[in-house]
Amino acid sequence: MFRVNDFDLLEVLAYTFLWTTLYFILCLWNSVRSYEWHCRIVTTVHALVISFLAFYCTFRVGPWPFTDAGGPNSSMQIRIISLCLGYFLFDVTWCLYFKTEGPAMMAHHFVSIVGLAWCLFSGYYGTELVATIGGAEITNPLLQLRWFLRETGNYHTLLGTFVDWAFMLSFGFYRIGLGSMLLYSYYQQDTDFWGRLGGTSIYIISWVFFINIVRYAIRKYAWTSPVSENNNNKHVLLQAEDSQSESDDCGVKGQVNTIKDQDIPSQREIKDGGGELSLRNRYIVQESVEI
């Protein structure tokens, strides 16, 4: 079968078949649920498995990415990267078939697939790439959990709030905090242009996601002014977005419409360049707190 350096097409296709088979088994086993439900289960399983393998390889097997990046791939790194590449081929095929994703998410998939494939073709960059995979995928189970909570009607609970904050904080810690440290140390080491290009590309995409998540979190959780009504405190959050006209925002006789607070969007929900990340212009979100 086609093989170049560490890239084995048969192995990658076998992993793609593995993830695809798991997806169809879930669809047959629980046909009541939607296709996206099952795809997200596969995504969660992949995130858990690949994060465990990546962190084990990074912290127990080595080499250490902060000091020894850019070296040849080890056998364990090849297996992890091939397994991850097989998943992304499955997931991007699913996204293209169902036409669910916008430019931001497709760019993330494209960069991931190219980076994983290039690592195998070149035979290098496995150390830093496996560390990046671990840091990127460790937050994914929380991302999927909040979607499952919303689908089952359990999102607007204490658990939903906890999952939101756990996801935001872990995303900032791993992908922005540790990601910044790793990228800085990578530039201090004797690494080449292609490795730096790939690392910088993933880092920029992480910032795009993080900025949108933080902006939404501020809108959802930053309480601006308390309003007393009927012995209840009602906290009003003003939301803004430039895409809606004034006529769409106001009801009859200038009355301002209200909408419920919305969820922090997941990466799969970031469509059309983040178009779903903000609320409608001059709508307000109201949340009652009993005294």
The residue extents of the domains of the chain are 3-221, 225-289
Q: Which pLDDT score is estimated for 62?
A: 87
Banded pLDDT at 1 (limits 50, 70, 90): low
pLDDT tens digits, 90-137: 999 999 999 887 787 888 889 899 999 999 999 999 999 999 999 999
* pLDDT confidence tier of residue 179, bands split at 50, 70 and 90: very high
**Exposed/middle/buried for 2, CB within 10 Å: 0-12, 13-18, 19+?**
exposed
Residue 277 confidence (pLDDT) above 50: no
Is the CB of residue 69 less than 8 Å from the CB of residue 118? no
Higher pLDDT among residues 114 and 250, named by residue: 114
Query: Of 2-11, 167-176, 214-223, where does mean pLDDT reach its minimum?
Result: 214-223
Q: Tens of pLDDT along 6-45? A: 999 999 999 999 999 999 999 999 999 999 999 999 999 9
Packed helices 75-98 and 9-29: angle between N→C axes, nearest 10 degrees? 50
